[in-house]
Structure 1
Amino acid sequence: MSSIRQLSPRLLWQFFDTQCSIPHPSGHEAALRQWITDWAAEKNLAVMQDAIGNLIIRKAATAGMEKRKGVILQAHMDMVPQANADTHHDFTTDPIQPYIDGDWVRARGTTLGADNGIGLAACLAVLADDKVQHGPLEVLLTIDEESGMTGAFGLTPGLLQGEILLNTDSEQDGDVYMGCAGGVDANITLPYEPEPVPAGHQARRLIITGLRGGHSGINIHQGRASANKLLAELLTDINQHAAIRLSELNGGTLRNAIVREASALLTLPADMLDTLANLVDRRRQQYRHEFNGVDDFIQLELAPTELPERVMTSALQQRLGAALLACPHGVMEMSRSMEAVVQSSTNLGVIGTEDEHIHVQCLIRSLNDEGRNRIAEMTAAVFRLAGARCDFDGAYPGWQPNPDSAMMQLVLNTHQELFGVLPEVKVIHAGLECGLFKAAYPEWDMVSFGPTIQGAHSPDERVHIEAVSRFWQLLVRVLKQIPEA
């Protein structure tokens, strides 16, 4: 038990603390799902698991509210597993350790899972608290949102009865969302062409650390450094010196997180050590100046290490370096119709060296399919010129804004009644599941809101305590004011 259980609203924070104690990274939600199922059964709530692994929990309307429109409260059960380099944490077995830091809640050395754990806790608190007034209520808890939206993809038409969906996966207090970006994964494989390490070589590991990272949608416009792109620039410098050879390079573990750490294993003759050190030092100085105020703690280091068994051929090393340098990354286009809204972006999220190939993964986002497809074609062209194979999967649509949404107007009015200000209506550059829900339930009127969460998808993740309280107040009041069918 942690001190967060004493925060208000107490039921919500108690559920969140319990979630932290049960490992639930993407693809490993089974234990948390079973706990929720057992808890719902003990509360005599109707609970079912669909064919794909989502949970649906139903609660009857509060007395006198049976004729209100049916509402679906929605959250996802998985979290992004990211830890600092000096934190030894197995996300499949070890609990998250939340703690209070002033006005915020954080985790010790890892992601917190407030994305979307606070929303999930709010859904369970509504089910648990009989003082919350509502019409016919369903809670939809999906799986695998962070790594593929498997639960949303597999949602079957006809399972849910409500007309309104309240998504709890937004991350800014005072904002209400009425649309989101779609996306697609680019999976690139390049055959590893090996040759023996040249005689007389020594080995050095080039390590890039200290970057902020973050959510590849929400934070992509903020100019944060990507360790993979910095590594690509350094590899371009290195490739000017034929005697420095590349054995492997690795960076990032998730396609939807801006990369915080990357490394390359190099071999070189002793008389090139000073040259390599100078290349790294020059880039170190450049990055500290270039990212001042955005990424202030970038570290570039060279460390002695054991000689590898192989290096890449010079031809492969050159092609790979050029492709990674040319690979699109960051904001590609701003919206023409909505001010300060990112239209399209892409994230060079993963580089990995395996036995027989080099693997690269990008997540491409756009508010429309045309923008998404355009960047996909650019990405494929770059890597195919380097001799790589590029496959795309996991494509999901954006959630197109509905300016006539009755639920949006209700949420806006309710927010003003509670807090004296109208919230901002926004379109989020992230992959909310709402776009996929529309395919199975086109009639749903949907809106998304949540508390302030910063640093999602990184160990800097934190959630604002007072914003959670306001989120809860807004959710409870909206449920009470749902109109009759």
Structure 2
Amino acid sequence: MTKPDAIDGLKPVLFWKCFAEISRIPRPSGHEERIAQFILERGKELGLETRQDACGNVLVKKPASSGREGAPSICLQSHLDMVCEKNAGKVHDFMADPIELVRNGNVVTANGTTLGADNGAGVATSLAIMEDATLEHGPLEMLFTLEEETGLKGALNLSGDLVQSRIMLNLDSEDEGVVFIGCAGGKDTLARWQLAYDSVGADLAPAEITVKGLKGGHSGLEIDKELGNAIKILNRALMKLSGLGCRVSSIEGGNMRNAIPRECTAAVYLPNTKLDEAKSLVSSLNATFQSELSSIDPGFVLAISQSASGSGKVLQLPLQQKILMTIASLPTGVQHMSVDMPGLVETSTNVSVIHTTDKEVVLITSQRSSVASRLAEIVQTVESILQLGGGTVEGSSGYPGWKPDMHSPILGVAKRCYQSLFGKEVEVKAVHAGLECGIIGERVPGMDMISFGPSLHGVHSPDEVIYIDSVQRYWDFLLEILRSVR
């Protein structure tokens, strides 16, 4: 459970109270029923109008404060689900256990798991505004969407008539002091290989090769950080070990399509006569990889351990070679930088998840770009490599980008508010991530949108933190915008 002092004395008090409340409610993607019900019940307790569409998205309406009835309606939008990642050895059931909040100096984090500030910060903000009767604002709609992290399902299936506002503040950004006005579109591309096994001879001994200690992170927001990709790194090791006769039984790595994988494990068999040589090779590779990653992923470890027993079967050698060579061929990371917005990643791809089932090996990749033609190009590249590698290729329907509008009226209001509050200009950027704004803008024509939030770091990993001092500034900024829209 959350330590009693984790949020004591933090301001704004109502925000942190709501954040702690929702941290006690499990909300993995695809399992948002409890948090949705909590919000519906809280809205009804407060006497507010509540609605839920066929997909499960929740809307709560709050009337304007006295004298502001004629102001335009504003929609505050956040998503209910969170990425569920935990450190190796951490015992935590994301379907049942609460997130344990821990304060560490100027940050709040979680004990060995993702924090869920993405997008719990936005959900807590809307809940706090629902409760606070002292605020000045026009009519408000609080929109809570589902399954953002695993395919933007809630936004893609949003009922067009659920939202009446034509101004939207998306509360799902992670850099306080920055307003985002555009985002990348994206698509997932995956391949399947049907399993074909050989039996294991007496000359082979079972072992396990593991990659651990990487930071991981959001495959859009942190794709330019040169973070280690556990699947790609382990594959490099397996390619080298193949020269010693290493045979692969299974590979498991990554958990989320939109996260850089932190860990990966292969169950293998090695010739009995080559065990010492394999251990020496892994030790050498570990030193090499640690040298490559020392500045960004200093906790990295590649390890080999002998197993007491194994499955008794290995992938047929041609299949093993196809899979390993395919992974080796796949690009991962930044492919193009924007020439229009300096510092913005334009196009990227990520090798996200590999999973061995009873029948097949599944490899999931994710592509993003703010330029539709470049997105099509990188998807084509990845599809071609997967097909050449013998995989059966599938692609998601994808999601649209959000084209920046420097003349947006709500952007103008936000810029004036930030200048008034803090005596400096707010930064205006686009983001290399799949915000729901592009989709909602299609579902609700004419929507004028911006996105902002408090400062987060390490999202989609157990290193996720929310910076305490940024929350108050973010809160003040939001309230000033609500007061200023007339």
TM-score, structure 2 as length reference: 0.98
1:229 and 2:203 correspond: no
Distance 2:338 2:128 in 1: 37
Provide the rounded CA distance (Å) in 1 between the counterparts of 2:146 and 2:9.
Answer: 29
1:46 shift after superposition: 0.1
Structure 1 residue 343 displacement after superposition: 0.5
Tell me whether 1:373 sits opposite 2:376 in the alignment: yes
Residue ranges of structure 2 left out of the alignment (5+ in a row)? none
Letter in 1 for 2:87: N
Helix, strand or coil at the partner of 1:211: coil
CA distance in 2 between partners of 1:359 and 1:235 (Å): 17
Contact 2:286 2:303 in 1 (8 A): no
User: Which letter does structure 2 place at the counterpart of 1:304?
Assistant: Q
Q: Which residue of 2 aligns with 1:48?
A: 51
Q: CA RMSD in A?
A: 1.0
Q: Distance in 1 between matches of 2:367 and 2:416?
A: 35
Following superposition, the deviation at residue 193 of structure 1 comes to 1.3
Match of 2:202 among 199, 204, 218: 199
Counterpart for residue 306 of structure 2:
304
Q: 1: CA distance between counterparts of 2:285 and 2:423?
A: 50
Task: Name the residue aligned to 2:166.
Answer: 163
Aligned to 1:408: 411
What is the CA-CA distance between 1:17 and the residue it aligns to? 0.2
1:89-104 to 2 correspondence within 5 Å? 89-104=92-107
Matches within 5 A, 1:27-42: 27-42=30-45
What SS class does the counterpart of residue 68 from structure 1 fall into?
A: coil
- Give the match's secondary structure for 1:124: helix
**In 1: Cα distance, 2:310 partner to 2:234 partner:** 20
Identify the residue that residue 262 of structure 1 maps to in structure 2. Answer: 264
After TM superposition, the structure 1 = structure 2 runs for residues 306-455 of structure 1, keeping only pairs within 5 Å, are 306-455=309-458
Q: Deviations over 1:160-206 (max 9, x none)?
A: 11120000000001111000111111121011110101222111100
2:23 is aligned, of 17, 20, 23, to 20
C-alpha contact 2:238 2:246 (8 A) present in aligned 1? no
Instruction: Give the whole-Å Cα distance in 1 for the aligned partners of 2:67 and 2:338.
Output: 45
- Conserved in 2, the CA contact under 8 Å of 1:119 and 1:168? yes
The residue number in structure 2 matching 1:470 is 473
Give secondary structure in 2 for the equivalent of 1:427.
strand
Unaligned runs of 5+ in 1: none
User: In structure 2, the residue corresponding to 1:111 is in which secondary structure?
Assistant: coil
Q: Given that residues 200 and 269 in structure 1 are in contact (C-alpha distance below 8 angstroms), is that contact kept between their aligned partners in structure 2? A: yes
Mapped to 2, the partners of 1:269 and 1:405 lie a distance apart of 65
What's the TM-score once normalised by structure 1's chain length? 0.98
How far does the alpha carbon of each residue in 1:387-408 deviate from its partner, in whole angstroms, 9 at most, with x for none? Answer: 1111111400011101111111
Percent identity over the alignment? 38
- Residue identity in the other structure for 1:455: G
What is the CA–CA distance in structure 1 between the aligned matches of 2:161 and 2:269, rounded to whole Å?
60
Structure 1 residue 328, shift from structure 2 partner: 1.8
Q: Residue 448 of structure 1: CA displacement?
A: 0.5
Match of 1:295 in 2: 297
Equivalent of residue 278 in structure 1, options 277, 280, 283? 280
| Residue 372 of structure 1, CA deviation | 1.5
3-state SS of 2:192 partner: strand
Shift of 1:302: 0.8
Shift of 1:5: 5.0
The counterpart of 2:60, out of the listed 47, 57, 73, is 57
2:76 alignment counterpart: 73
Instruction: Indicate the residue corresponding to 2:248 in structure 1.
Output: 246
- Output the CA distance in 1 between the equivalents of 2:77 and 2:270: 54
Structure 1 CA distance for aligned equivalents of residues 371 and 281 of structure 2: 41
Alignment of 1:9 onto 2:5:
no
Amino acid at match of 1:100: R
The Cα of 1:369 is off from its aligned counterpart by 2.0
Letter in 1 for 2:253: G
Between the aligned partners of 1:79 and 1:41, the Cα distance in structure 2 is 24
Q: Provide the C-alpha distance between the structure 1 equivalents of 2:179 and 2:397, rounded to a whole number of angstroms.
A: 26
1:293 partner amino acid: S
TM-aligned CA deviation for residue 148 of structure 1: 1.1
For residues 90-130 of structure 1, give each alpha carbon's deviation from its aligned partner in whole angstroms, at most 9, with x where no partner exists: 10101000011100000000000001101111111111111
Residues 211 and 298, structure 1, Cα contact 8 Å, conserved in 2: yes
Correspondence for 1:113 among 102, 112, 116: 116
